């Protein structure tokens, strides 16, 4: 998985990278849920949720995307393991597949409260996109 944990005093900080912007959003979602549940391989893609979001900046769009996914985890206890994203002109169309949390099969690892804007900047480095995301835990 193309992300790494960064040292951060009270929160969870990760750096994600991908070949394109859509891939960056997919990998950010995978990284977030990998930190929540610890083993995405144990999360079956049994249910699908669709998303249509629009924001002014790619950073705002990323925060909205991750926040929507986190909201579904908080409210419906949905864990997601597969993601698809299309981004065009500030609009995101996405899909996430997963299943409801089952304490017999899933071990929760990190309690993420929210996605923050702290240190958030999507940048292009050579032929890759990178972003640092800080989660309030």
Q: What is the pLDDT of residues 76-124, one digit of tens each?
A: 999 999 999 999 999 999 999 999 999 999 999 999 999 999 989 999 9
Q: Mean pLDDT over all residues of the chain?
A: 93
112 contacts 12 by C-beta, under 8 angstroms: yes
Query: Would you state the pLDDT for residue 38?
Result: 87
The total of other beta-carbon atoms located within 10 Å of residue 123's CB is: 10
Report residue 11: phi and psi, to 5°.
-115, 180
Structural domain boundaries in the chain: 3-136
Copy the structure tokens of residue 48: 């699908």
Contacts of 60 (CB under 8 A, 6+ apart): none
69 contacts 75 by C-beta, under 8 angstroms: no
Query: Would you state the pLDDT for residue 5?
Result: 66
Against a cut of 0.95, is the pTM above it?
no
Give, rounded to a whole angstrom, the gap between the first and last alpha carbons of the chain.
Answer: 21
Is the confidence at residue 7, as pLDDT, over 80?
no
Query: Would you state the pLDDT for residue 10?
Result: 62
CATH topology of domain 3-136: Archease, Possible Chaperone; Chain: A; domain 1 (3.55.10)
40 contacts 109 by C-beta, under 8 angstroms: no
Residue 123 pairs with which residues in a beta bridge? 130
Query: Would you state the pLDDT for residue 125?
Result: 85
Is the confidence at residue 1, as pLDDT, over 90?
no
Rounded Cα distance, 50 and 101, in Å: 19
The total of other beta-carbon atoms located within 10 Å of residue 117's CB is: 12
CA 29 to chain centre: 2
Is the confidence at residue 8, as pLDDT, over 60?
no
């Amino acid at each position: 998985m193309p992300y790494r944990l960064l040292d951060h005093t009270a929160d969870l900080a990760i750096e994600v990278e991908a070949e394109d912007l859509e891939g960056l959003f997919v990998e950010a979602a995978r990284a977030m849920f990998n930190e929540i549940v610890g083993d995405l391989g144990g999360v079956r893609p049994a249910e699908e949720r669709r998303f249509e979001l629009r924001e002014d900046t790619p950073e705002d769009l990323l925060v909205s995307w991750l926040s929507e996914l986190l909201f579904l985890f908080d409210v419906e206890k949905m864990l997601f393991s597969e993601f698809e994203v299309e981004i065009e002109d500030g609009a995101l169309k996405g899909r996430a597949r997963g299943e409801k949390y089952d304490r017999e099969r899933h071990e929760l690892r990190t309690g993420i409260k929210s996605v923050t804007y702290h240190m958030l900047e999507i940048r292009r480095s050579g032929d890759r996109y990178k972003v640092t995301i800080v989660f309030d835990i």
